Amino acid sequence: MAMTDVLSAEDIKKAVGAFSAAESFNYKKFFEMVGLKKKSPEDVKKVFHILDKDRSGFIEEEELFVLKGFTPEGRDLSDKETKALLAAGDKDGDGKIGAD
């Protein structure tokens, strides 16, 4: 399954472009721009599973290259951006983000 099976290619392109500058990533705005806020829980889980490259059921820090996960043209997140995203999604403090 490709990201564009769930989200609009145009929305992805705009969102990735909006955060192309280093240290500009805002995960709340990004997820809103790509349309995830309007998606069903099932569609959000589909996106999660696309980003979960090792199929462990979790997204670990080494998988948080989020912009490239949405499109190959995206940039890698900085360590600071990655840690902020991980902290926001890691509800139980185990260092990974679960599907829920």
Residue 58, annotated ligand binder? yes
Distance, in Å, from the CA atom of 3 to the CA atom of 19, rounded to the nearest integer, reads 18
Residue 24, annotated ligand binder? no
Distance, in Å, from the CA atom of 11 to the CA atom of 74, rounded to the nearest integer, reads 13
Residue 11, annotated ligand binder? no
Residue 70, annotated ligand binder? no
User: Residues 46, 22, 80, CA angle at the centre, nearest 5°?
Assistant: 70
Residue 54, annotated ligand binder? yes
Distance, in Å, from the CA atom of 81 to the CA atom of 77, rounded to the nearest integer, reads 6
Distance, in Å, from the CA atom of 50 to the CA atom of 32, rounded to the nearest integer, reads 18
Residue 48, annotated ligand binder? no
Residue 56, annotated ligand binder? yes
| Binding-site entries | 52, 54, 56, 58, 63, 90, 92, 94, 96
| Binding-site entries for Ca(2+) | 52, 54, 56, 58, 63, 90, 92, 94, 96
